[in-house]
């Protein structure tokens, strides 16, 4: 079994995340892609999520509920503390014995992989599927099994969506209708 892992804060999950998961799944014949909302992202300590981990998991569930090859895991939320990819992959290895794992991420995050917790061991466990964000130039971490996801650049960012919501601007083109409804019903991002 080939399993893609797409981690992040997903604050909020947007159509760019969904497009990334779907493109990676199709291009690399993944059996499924698991979204993993971080409880506490290690590289974003200064900018903590604005919504609770449980609310972010709920938004991901709403965004992908009609997509059979996409799933959400709350393993990092249940684990609490800092969310390390190494720990999540180790947990999935126990749960999905014999599977091959593919970490889906953007080029900007990928370039910092060598600074991640237990990076050398992580690079032996997984394959990296990387989406380009901007120019094609960049440093590929040593010993990382890397393939590039072919897809158009995605102009959407969660921080821009949060700012637009705060300002009362229309974000219908960036969010699934169910996620947008959840955000409006709970008044998420109104006060940033």
- Domain annotation for the chain: domains and CATH numbers: 2-153 (3.40.50.620)
- CA angle 101-105-109, nearest 5°? 125
- Its pTM stands at 0.93
Residue 161 CA to residue 172 CA, distance in Å, equals 10
pLDDT (tens place) for every residue of the chain, 192 residues total: 999 999 999 999 999 999 999 999 999 999 999 999 999 888 765 556 689 999 999 999 999 999 999 999 999 999 998 999 999 999 999 999 999 999 999 988 899 999 999 999 999 999 999 997 655 555 678 889 999 998 887 788 999 999 999 999 999 999 999 999 999 999 999 875
Helix (H, G, I), strand (E, B) or coil at 148: strand
Are the CB atoms for 158 and 166 separated by under 8 Å?
no
């Amino acid at each position: 079994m080939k399993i893609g892992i797409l981690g992040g804060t997903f604050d909020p999950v947007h159509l760019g995340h969904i497009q990334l998961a779907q493109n990676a799944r199709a291009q690399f014949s993944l059996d499924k892609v698991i979204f993993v909302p971080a409880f506490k992202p290690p590289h974003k300590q200064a900018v903590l999520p604005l919504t609770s981990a449980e609310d972010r998991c709920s938004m991901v569930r709403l965004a992908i509920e009609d997509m059979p090859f996409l799933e959400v895991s709350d393993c990092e939320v249940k684990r609490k503390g800092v969310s390390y990819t190494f720990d999540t992959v180790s947990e999935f290895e126990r749960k999905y014995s014999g599977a091959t794992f593919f970490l889906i991420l953007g080029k900007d995050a990928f370039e910092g992989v060598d600074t991640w917790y237990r990076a050398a061991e992580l690079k032996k466990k997984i394959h990296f599927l990387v989406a380009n964000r901007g120019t094609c130039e960049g440093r590929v971490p040593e010993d990382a099994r890397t393939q590039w996801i072919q897809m158009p650049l995605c102009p959407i960012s969660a921080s821009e969506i949060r700012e637009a919501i705060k300002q009362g601007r229309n974000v219908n083109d960036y969010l699934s209708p169910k996620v947008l409804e959840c955000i409006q019903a709970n008044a998420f991002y109104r006060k940033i």
